[in-house]
Structure 1
Amino acid sequence: MKIHEYQAKEIFTGYGIPVERHTLCHSAEEALQAYRRMNVDRVAIKAQVLTGGRGKAGGVKLVNNEKDVYQKSQEILHMNIKGLPVKKVLVSEVVDIAAEYYISFTIDRNMRAVTLMMSASGGMDIEEIARQTPEKILRYSIDPFIGIPDYLARRFAFRLFDKADLADRMAKIIQELYQVFIEKDASLAEVNPLVLTTKGTLIAIDAKMTFDDNALFRHPDIRSLFEPTEEEKLEALAKERGFSYVRMNGDIGCMVNGAGLAMATMDMIKLYGGSPANFLDIGGSSNPMKVIEAMKMLLDDKKVKAVLINIFGGITRGDDIAEGLLQAFDQIESNIPVIVRLTGTNGDIGRELLQTNNRFLVTETMKEATISAIKSAKETSAKEANV
């Protein structure tokens, strides 16, 4: 689960991590009032959306007068950044920056440990720096039985600062950020940039946090901050109905029983030149109602031009699955081609049952089913183009 910058800064403040003065605003009028209350020369108007790249997309503007505060706030509040509408902005005091740094804690699954990452080259281009000059990104795996005691925090801090007073302040921020990360069950706690001001202070002028969804039951305060995107709402609805669904960008809808088979199905579609529209794991059930709900969700995606149903009957018998599909499609009205690959326990009986209904194109192998689905999707697209 992701949260906004202003929410992450509230959490940081509670742990003693210094941040600049800021005010959350939902309109240009509120932004103007916030600017007047701050009584400073310059402020940054920052879009609050749950994605990165706001600055490069034009969602961060520096202004130094009331007219520009109002105008730029209004412009940003009418933006879409990576498909997400901007509904609120953060008005932040601009500080005089002497240097920018990067610091974060995340999970390194290869090392099976929390990893501290730091760089003396923080800012908007940190991803480019990581790609082109990875040696500038310092990485340290944290032993969970030791954590980050004072001696380790100072050792890390001295990699960025030569002066003892700055290293001491950096060490404290490292410890506080680690405490946030651990206590809040985060999967990412990031400050980019952490700035050294011309007055010699260290301030987090940006903040980013994501959390382990499986640990949210321990953090009702964090869970209350959840603002789901449309895709996340669909995923949550699917979970309530007993299956897993993730929307993608292709045109071949997939309904599969089992996560591994679902991944293999998407790989096969890509292998033969197609593009999957979703990941949909319906599980081992042949319950017609579950199939109906899954198909409705799948067909709500207007990009879907063909449906590939790939079922392996293991404990669940193929004839039971076929009966479930027949009952389900008696209640589903759609002209989208449906290709079914059914094999496994009683798979031959199941295929015979499905072949009695001309609604389905029945296949036995994944290759045959995949090629048929790709061909059907192209034919559907061509028909729609000629209408």
Structure 2
Amino acid sequence: MDIHEHQAKAILGEFGVPVPRGGLAYSPEQAAFRARELGGRAVIKAQVHSGGRGEAGGVKLCDDPEAARAFAIELLGQTLVTKQTGAYGKRIDRLWVEEASDIDRELYLGFVLDRKSERIMIVASASGGMEIEDLAEEAPDSLIRMVIDPAVGLADFHARELAFRLGLSGAQISEMVTVLRACYRAYRDLDAMMVEINPLVVRPDGTLVALDAKMSFDTNALFRRPEIAALRDPGQEDPRESYAFDHNLAYVGLDGDIGCIINGAGLAMASMDMIQLAGGAPANFLDIGGGASPERVCQAFRTVLSDTNVRVILVNIFAGINRCDWIANGVIQAYRDLNLNVPVVVRLAGTNVEAGRRLIAESGLPIVVAATLAEAAEAAVAARAQGIAAQ
């Protein structure tokens, strides 16, 4: 789960990271008021879940409150399209009005999970102000990586070593130690998946300040972090994924038109690959999980159909904890309750498979039953082609 810049700064500030003064604005008048509070000169930032806001016109230094008001009029209610949002962009409903900071140097600092070592990794660079992807491409030698041993944590000598490698000196080193340890504690204590400060600025007086901040969190751990879950902004999410999240389904929206309802992440990935091999394109990743009741299956259908691009639905279940008769009942219930007008292809295997197939056959519904995943993928692609030809 992602959060806004101002939320990330509030969290990191509580842990000890120096952040500029600022305030939220939901209207042009509020933006002007916030700028006036900060002395007149302020930076206005669109609050959307995306990087690259500056290049897209979502960040501006305003010299007076009236300029802040005028820029807020331009932004609020509009859609900001960046290289990370895709063509649809993200709607701007709030602004962060922040005091302007003089800049001597810009650094990059990120904490991520390194899946290879199964540990937290610090990624830092003396070339801040750029997206990490651009840094990796344009200045790969500037990237500094440090893996943290969970048995030891981030010790002061680790942080000092990183500060030296970034070219800091004097009092800046102790400040950097504070920033690094604060970010590490925030990452560890709040079940974060990513903490990024870009840029971490060195001011002309030598002090450090986080001009931008991003944080994302492990969705599976939100049940024990209600204070973090409360920061979620559904308006910044893909509506399909937001709907699935609210109904406790693992869903990722894609660009194709064959909807997928699968149990198990590995089987879901294999099913999407098979659809591609058959000449189609999956509309989503959806793992229905174990122990799926007919009601849960029906909810999965509603989730997939929330994508108006879906032309066919492929259900692929290998039942262990699940039972094929439960899935079959769910498919039949969904077909009748939702008045489905798209073809449905079902492949069942595992526990109670014969009972599940018999239920579908006796339902009298035009549901295509396939024996193998390859047959199911081919049937789904064929049904999609027939639907297109009939238009």
Q: What is the TM-score with the length of structure 2 in the denominator?
A: 0.88
Give the structure 1 partner of residue 190 of structure 2: 184
In 2, distance between residues paired with 1:366 and 1:223?
37
Deviations 1:58-97 (A, max 9, x none): 1111221343211211111132133321111011122121
Name the aligned partner's letter for residue 238 of structure 1: H
- Of stretches 135-144 and 221-230 in structure 1, the one that deviates more from structure 2 is 221-230
| Match in the other structure for 2:369 | 362
- Answering whether residue 244 of structure 2 is matched by residue 235 of structure 1, we say yes
Change (3 A) 1:335 1:100: same
Superposed displacement of residue 364, structure 1: 1.6
- Contact 2:240/2:307, CA 8 A, preserved across alignment: no
Match runs of 1:1-387 below 5 Å: 1-40=1-40, 42-81=41-80, 82=85, 83-228=89-234, 229=237, 230-239=239-248, 243-285=249-291, 287-314=293-320, 318=324, 321-344=327-350, 347=353, 350-351=356-357, 354-355=360-361, 357=364, 359-384=366-391
**CA shift for structure 1 position 110:** 0.7
Q: What SS does structure 1 have at the residue aligned with 2:32?
A: helix
1:380–1:220 distance in 2 versus 1, CA, 3 Å: same
Contact 2:126 2:167 in 1 (8 A): no
Contact kept? 1:238, 1:244, Cα under 8 Å: no
CA contact (8 A) 1:286 1:325 kept: no
Query: Which ranges in structure 1 are unaligned for 5 or more consecutive residues?
Result: none
Identity %: 43
Q: 1:212 to 1:295 in 2, by over 3 A?
A: closer
Q: Could you tell me how far 1:219 is from its partner in structure 2?
A: 3.2
Residue 129 of structure 1 deviates from its aligned partner by 1.4
1:245-270: per-residue Cα shift (whole Å, max 9, x none)? 33322100112233322221111112
Structure 1 CA distance, aligned partners of 2:352 and 2:205? 76
TM-aligned CA distance change 1:75 to 1:171, over 3 Å: same
Residue 223 of structure 1, CA deviation = 2.5
Question: Does 369-378 or 344-353 show the bigger shift?
Answer: 344-353
Structure 2: segments with no counterpart, 5+ residues: none
Shift of 1:122: 0.5
d(CA) in 2 for partners of 1:109 and 1:376? 39
Task: Kindly tell me the number of residue pairs found equivalent between the two proteins.
Answer: 380
Between the aligned partners of 2:241 and 2:343, the Cα distance in structure 1 is: 27
Return the index of the structure with the highest Cα Rg. 1
Residues 179-214 of structure 1, C-alpha deviations (whole Å, 9 max, x = no match): 222222322121100111222221111111122233
Letter in 2 for 1:375: A
- Inter-CA distance 195–319: structure 2 relative to 1 (3 Å threshold): closer
Q: Would the aligned equivalents of 1:188 and 1:210 in 2 still touch at CA under 8 Å?
A: yes
Cα offset for 1:294? 2.1
Q: Residues 306 and 377 of structure 1 are in contact (CA less than 8 Å); yes or no, is this contact kept in structure 2? A: yes
Change (3 A) 1:371 1:165: same
Pairwise CA RMSD: 2.4
- Determine if contact 2:31/2:65 at 8 Å carries over to the other structure: no
- Per the TM alignment, residue 340 of structure 1 is displaced from its structure 2 partner at its CA by 2.1
Contact 1:161–1:167 (CA under 8 A) maintained in structure 2: no
Q: TM-score, normalised on structure 1?
A: 0.89
Structure 1 residue identity aligned to 2:114: D
Going from structure 1 to structure 2, the CA distance change for 1:14 and 1:313 (only over 3 Å counts) comes to closer
CA contact (8 A) 1:55 1:124 kept: no
